[in-house]
Amino acid sequence: MPEIEPIIDVAREVLVGRSPLGREDTFLFDHSMRVMRVAERLSGCREVRAWRLDRFALSVAALFHQAATVRLEEERRTSTVYAAATMSAEDVKQYSANWSSSRRSSATRTTPPATSRSPRSSPTPTASTISAPWASGGT
């Protein structure tokens, strides 16, 4: 069987990244090493040996089975949804106030003429009649 150590070094380079706090994050690499050890143990069982698996290929597959997760994690960290999810409460309030202000100003410019309503119907709230408490400085 070929040497697995150089492959483990490559896996370490691929799977070890930085946490959001800037620390080294070895979770995926450690997990993949555990999966590789389990796969090696299972491939040594009598019942599994009968299948004549390529044990080296099995070890390499176990090491890299989480490689796509690295890319997905990088995409998640750079996405606007992730950015919004990690905003502070104050940032959310400011963003919401700015967004609702721009919506209100565009709503007042494009408000259709009033129509007659039946006595039982209630007026539909619009962006100009709804305001967030923090937009006016209140809590």
Q: Which helix (H) or strand (E) holds 37?
A: helix 27-43
Q: Look up residue 47 and give its amino acid.
A: E
Q: Look up residue 13 and give its amino acid.
A: E
Please tell me the distance from the alpha carbon of residue 59 to that of residue 33, in angstroms, as a whole number. Answer: 9
Q: Look up residue 98 and give its amino acid.
A: N
Predicted confidence (pLDDT) at residue 7 exceeds the cutoff of 90: yes
pTM, entire model: 0.54
Q: pLDDT by residue (tens digit) across 12-38? A: 999 998 887 889 999 999 999 999 999
Angle at 51 between CA 49 and CA 52, to 5 degrees: 70
Residue 55, number of CB atoms within 10 A of its CB:
16
Region 108-128: mean pLDDT is 52
Query: CB neighbours of 97 closer than 8 A, spacing ≥ 6?
Result: 132, 134, 135
Q: What is the mean pLDDT of the chain?
A: 78
Region 102-126: mean pLDDT is 57
What are the percentages of helix, strand and coil residues in the chain, rounded to 5? 60, 5, 35
